Chain A
């Protein structure tokens, strides 16, 4: 492979093989200038890169309690990237993670979009104190009696697919491989796992969402979300369902992001110095506990 900067050539083992104008350098030992080693592993169809050349734990160990069944379900080759968005936000990266791992905010923050579709009390969370890389998850269930607004358009969409998180599809998605991973609960919508530190992985029937957040500064971050589906859209019903689901999640996300920037403004003003986290937000507690242990360098996951 050739570096696009100066044309240095490396062989398949990462050793420096050729340098244009090598005589221009003085004391020059190509054997010491190979590519830096990093660790690469694959899980759930995603490639993970670890800058530590010799990690103390394997990726598989890091991602427990996500197990081989999830690896098989997510790694199914039928999943293909469908669409996604990126944005720069004036908020600390952690605030954008927070919003995706608790359901306490849903009824109020999303009062103009999905309130009633996933009440906060239908979003139980679990903490995994023994896990190194998956501190917590939050689940989402539909209430037995829907109290949110289910429009004609949403109900028409639900006849043709399951890409809306907020309207029950008339079609059942059957998982190829990895059977048994997905909840059999008739009202279950999705599980959202926090992959420490900055990835939230939403797993549902027929759709995967991956949200990643990267810090730029204490009060700025890059945020992106990607959607994966199985197979190409073939008919208009599927396209209509995809469009309706895409727009619903887009509008909901704009509310989460609006809130995150508002919280950051409060912090910037110096007025708000601490926040209260309740029992329903246990995933946030687990996130910050894990984060603080990492910052302190204790390596504790509990």
Chain B
């Protein structure tokens, strides 16, 4: 049996984690769209050095077993996916050459017939 991976020390970035650990992709999208680049960069560059260790740590659990502080940490890690393009490609919170992402309504299934 492989050895358990210790939880990384994230005490110095708790503030950023608390700001971005939102439950859903859609909420993290809105957070990114409503943030300044200073706020986005602050989060991204605080998390980035610890992200590999955070993923390795979280990856040793089944998803259903992620609760409490670990669930919060997982949501902050997922927010790194949301801000990635803004930091490295757009240099802006919102893509200027695309439609408003919020126009794409999340479906609940293949045959979802939600009235638009």
Contact = CB atoms under 8 A, between A and B. Distances in A.
Interface of A: 81, 83-88, 109, 111-113, 149, 151-154, 156-157, 160, 210, 222, 224, 226, 233-237, 239-240, 243-244, 246-248, 250-251, 253-255, 257-258, 261
Given A113-B95, A152-B51, 4 more contacts: A86-B114, A111-B97, A251-B95, A261-B99
Contact of A81 (B99, B101, B109): B109
Nearest to B60: A235
Given A112-B89, A152-B51, A222-B116, A254 B84 contact: no
A112 B96 CA distance: 9
Contacts, number: 121
Contact of B81 (A83, A157, A224, A237): A157
A247 B81 contact: yes
Nearest to A253: B104
B89 A113 contact: yes
Interface size classification for chain B: 35 or more
A27 B97 CA distance: 62
Nearest to A108: B97
Contacts of B48: 152
Interface string B93-116: 001111111011111011010101
B18 interface: no
Given A84-B112, A236-B55, A237-B59, A258 B107 contact: no
B55 A156 contact: yes
B59 A235 contact: yes
21 contacts: A86-B116, A87-B105, A109-B97, A112-B95, A112-B96, A113-B85, A151-B87, A152-B51, A153-B84, A234-B63, A235-B61, A237-B58, A239-B63, A240-B81, A247-B81, A250-B101, A253-B104, A254-B99, A255-B95, A255-B97, A258-B98
Interface string B42-86: 000000100110010011111100100000001001101110110
Contact of A239 (B74, B88, B116): B74
A87 B116 contact: yes
Nearest to A257: B99
Contacts of B85: 112-113, 247-248, 251
Contacts of B97: 109, 111-112, 255, 258
A271 B67 CA distance: 58
